[in-house]
Amino acid sequence: MRTVIRSMLTADGSVVAMDDAAIVWKPRDGRQKRVKLDARASVLLGLIGPMGMVDRVIVGDEYGGVNFISLSTMELVDKFVVGNSKVRSLCASSISGESILVGCENGSVFMVGRNVPNRVVNLFELDGPASALRIVGQDLHIQQGWERKVVAWNGQNSLLVA
Protein backbone atom coordinates (compact mmCIF):
# COMPACT_ATOMS: atom_id res chain seq x y z
CA MET A 1 0.00 0.00 0.00
CA ARG A 2 1.52 3.31 -1.09
CA THR A 3 0.88 6.62 0.64
CA VAL A 4 0.72 10.13 -0.80
CA ILE A 5 3.34 12.29 0.95
CA ARG A 6 3.12 15.48 -1.17
CA SER A 7 0.55 16.78 -3.63
CA MET A 8 -0.02 19.75 -5.91
CA LEU A 9 -3.15 20.79 -7.82
CA THR A 10 -3.03 22.54 -11.18
CA ALA A 11 -5.75 23.68 -13.58
CA ASP A 12 -5.00 20.60 -15.73
CA GLY A 13 -4.78 17.94 -13.02
CA SER A 14 -2.81 16.92 -9.96
CA VAL A 15 0.71 15.79 -9.14
CA VAL A 16 1.21 13.43 -6.23
CA ALA A 17 4.44 12.20 -4.67
CA MET A 18 4.23 8.73 -3.19
CA ASP A 19 6.23 7.20 -0.34
CA ASP A 20 7.93 4.80 -2.80
CA ALA A 21 9.59 7.78 -4.61
CA ALA A 22 7.11 7.72 -7.50
CA ILE A 23 5.74 10.99 -8.89
CA VAL A 24 2.31 10.58 -10.50
CA TRP A 25 0.61 13.03 -12.89
CA LYS A 26 -3.18 12.67 -12.93
CA PRO A 27 -4.49 14.89 -15.74
CA ARG A 28 -8.14 15.93 -15.85
CA ASP A 29 -8.30 14.53 -19.38
CA GLY A 30 -6.20 11.54 -20.32
CA ARG A 31 -4.30 8.75 -18.65
CA GLN A 32 -2.21 9.06 -15.56
CA LYS A 33 1.57 8.88 -15.96
CA ARG A 34 4.36 8.28 -13.50
CA VAL A 35 8.10 8.52 -13.04
CA LYS A 36 10.21 6.95 -10.30
CA LEU A 37 12.92 9.02 -8.60
CA ASP A 38 15.97 7.88 -6.60
CA ALA A 39 14.59 9.29 -3.33
CA ARG A 40 11.28 10.32 -1.78
CA ALA A 41 10.01 13.82 -2.45
CA SER A 42 10.24 16.44 0.27
CA VAL A 43 8.87 19.46 -1.64
CA LEU A 44 7.13 20.22 -4.99
CA LEU A 45 7.21 23.36 -7.14
CA GLY A 46 5.24 23.85 -10.36
CA LEU A 47 6.67 25.99 -13.17
CA ILE A 48 4.44 27.79 -15.66
CA GLY A 49 5.38 27.29 -19.30
CA PRO A 50 4.92 29.52 -22.37
CA MET A 51 1.23 28.56 -22.68
CA GLY A 52 0.48 29.90 -19.20
CA MET A 53 -0.05 26.48 -17.62
CA VAL A 54 2.13 24.41 -15.29
CA ASP A 55 4.23 22.24 -17.61
CA ARG A 56 7.13 21.23 -15.36
CA VAL A 57 7.40 20.23 -11.76
CA ILE A 58 10.51 20.58 -9.63
CA VAL A 59 10.84 17.93 -6.93
CA GLY A 60 13.21 18.37 -4.01
CA ASP A 61 14.06 15.10 -2.33
CA GLU A 62 15.21 13.75 1.02
CA TYR A 63 18.83 13.31 -0.12
CA GLY A 64 19.54 16.75 -1.59
CA GLY A 65 18.35 16.12 -5.13
CA VAL A 66 16.48 18.69 -7.21
CA ASN A 67 14.63 16.90 -10.01
CA PHE A 68 13.10 18.65 -13.05
CA ILE A 69 10.18 16.65 -14.52
CA SER A 70 8.22 17.40 -17.71
CA LEU A 71 4.50 16.88 -17.08
CA SER A 72 3.68 16.13 -20.73
CA THR A 73 6.09 13.17 -20.91
CA MET A 74 6.62 12.47 -17.18
CA GLU A 75 10.33 12.17 -17.83
CA LEU A 76 13.16 13.35 -15.65
CA VAL A 77 14.54 16.26 -17.72
CA ASP A 78 17.40 17.23 -15.41
CA LYS A 79 18.72 16.58 -11.91
CA PHE A 80 20.94 18.62 -9.63
CA VAL A 81 22.46 17.46 -6.34
CA VAL A 82 23.04 20.13 -3.70
CA GLY A 83 24.42 17.86 -0.98
CA ASN A 84 23.07 15.16 1.26
CA SER A 85 20.61 17.25 3.29
CA LYS A 86 16.84 17.15 2.74
CA VAL A 87 15.50 19.88 0.43
CA ARG A 88 12.98 21.94 2.44
CA SER A 89 12.06 24.74 0.03
CA LEU A 90 12.21 25.73 -3.64
CA CYS A 91 11.70 29.07 -5.39
CA ALA A 92 11.97 30.00 -9.07
CA SER A 93 14.42 32.88 -9.39
CA SER A 94 13.03 33.98 -12.75
CA ILE A 95 9.72 33.76 -14.58
CA SER A 96 11.20 31.23 -17.00
CA GLY A 97 12.35 28.95 -14.17
CA GLU A 98 15.85 28.68 -15.64
CA SER A 99 17.35 28.80 -12.14
CA ILE A 100 15.92 27.66 -8.83
CA LEU A 101 16.72 28.68 -5.25
CA VAL A 102 16.99 25.67 -2.95
CA GLY A 103 16.78 25.73 0.85
CA CYS A 104 17.99 22.68 2.76
CA GLU A 105 17.39 21.14 6.17
CA ASN A 106 20.98 21.89 7.24
CA GLY A 107 20.61 25.63 6.46
CA SER A 108 22.40 25.66 3.11
CA VAL A 109 20.89 27.84 0.37
CA PHE A 110 21.82 27.04 -3.23
CA MET A 111 21.08 28.24 -6.74
CA VAL A 112 20.76 25.48 -9.35
CA GLY A 113 20.17 25.54 -13.10
CA ARG A 114 21.70 24.91 -16.49
CA ASN A 115 22.81 28.56 -16.73
CA VAL A 116 24.31 28.61 -13.23
CA PRO A 117 28.13 28.30 -13.10
CA ASN A 118 28.97 24.61 -12.53
CA ARG A 119 25.17 24.02 -12.45
CA VAL A 120 25.10 24.39 -8.61
CA VAL A 121 26.26 27.34 -6.49
CA ASN A 122 26.21 27.40 -2.68
CA LEU A 123 25.02 30.97 -1.91
CA PHE A 124 25.26 30.95 1.90
CA GLU A 125 24.54 29.05 5.10
CA LEU A 126 21.80 29.77 7.62
CA ASP A 127 21.72 28.80 11.29
CA GLY A 128 18.74 26.51 10.66
CA PRO A 129 16.54 25.10 7.90
CA ALA A 130 14.97 27.37 5.29
CA SER A 131 11.29 26.42 5.48
CA ALA A 132 10.30 28.82 2.69
CA LEU A 133 12.13 31.06 0.21
CA ARG A 134 10.82 34.02 -1.75
CA ILE A 135 12.45 36.72 -3.85
CA VAL A 136 11.15 40.24 -3.23
CA GLY A 137 12.91 42.90 -5.29
CA GLN A 138 16.64 42.45 -4.70
CA ASP A 139 16.22 40.59 -1.39
CA LEU A 140 15.48 37.05 -0.29
CA HIS A 141 12.75 36.51 2.28
CA ILE A 142 13.43 33.32 4.22
CA GLN A 143 11.04 31.75 6.68
CA GLN A 144 12.64 29.78 9.53
CA GLY A 145 9.92 28.48 11.80
CA TRP A 146 8.15 31.59 13.14
CA GLU A 147 11.00 33.89 12.16
CA ARG A 148 11.32 35.66 8.81
CA LYS A 149 14.71 36.87 7.65
CA VAL A 150 15.34 39.37 4.89
CA VAL A 151 18.79 38.87 3.43
CA ALA A 152 20.84 39.84 0.39
CA TRP A 153 21.97 37.17 -2.07
CA ASN A 154 25.17 36.64 -0.04
CA GLY A 155 23.19 35.85 3.15
CA GLN A 156 23.93 39.16 4.91
CA ASN A 157 20.99 40.88 6.60
CA SER A 158 19.31 43.37 4.30
CA LEU A 159 18.67 46.97 5.24
CA LEU A 160 15.00 46.28 4.65
CA VAL A 161 13.17 45.41 7.88
CA ALA A 162 10.86 42.40 7.67
The full DSSP string for 66-124 is EEEEETTTTEEEEEEE--SSPEEEEEESSTT-SEEEEEETTSEEEEEETTSTTSEEEEE
Give 162's pLDDT tier (boundaries 50, 70, 90): very low
- pLDDT at residue 14 greater than cutoff 60: yes
Domain 4-151 is in which class?
mainly beta
Dump pLDDT digits (tens) for 106-127. Answer: 999 999 999 888 999 999 999 9
Dump pLDDT digits (tens) for 26-78. Answer: 999 999 999 999 999 999 999 998 888 999 999 999 999 999 999 999 999 99
Name the residue ranges covered by the structural domains of the chain. Answer: 4-151
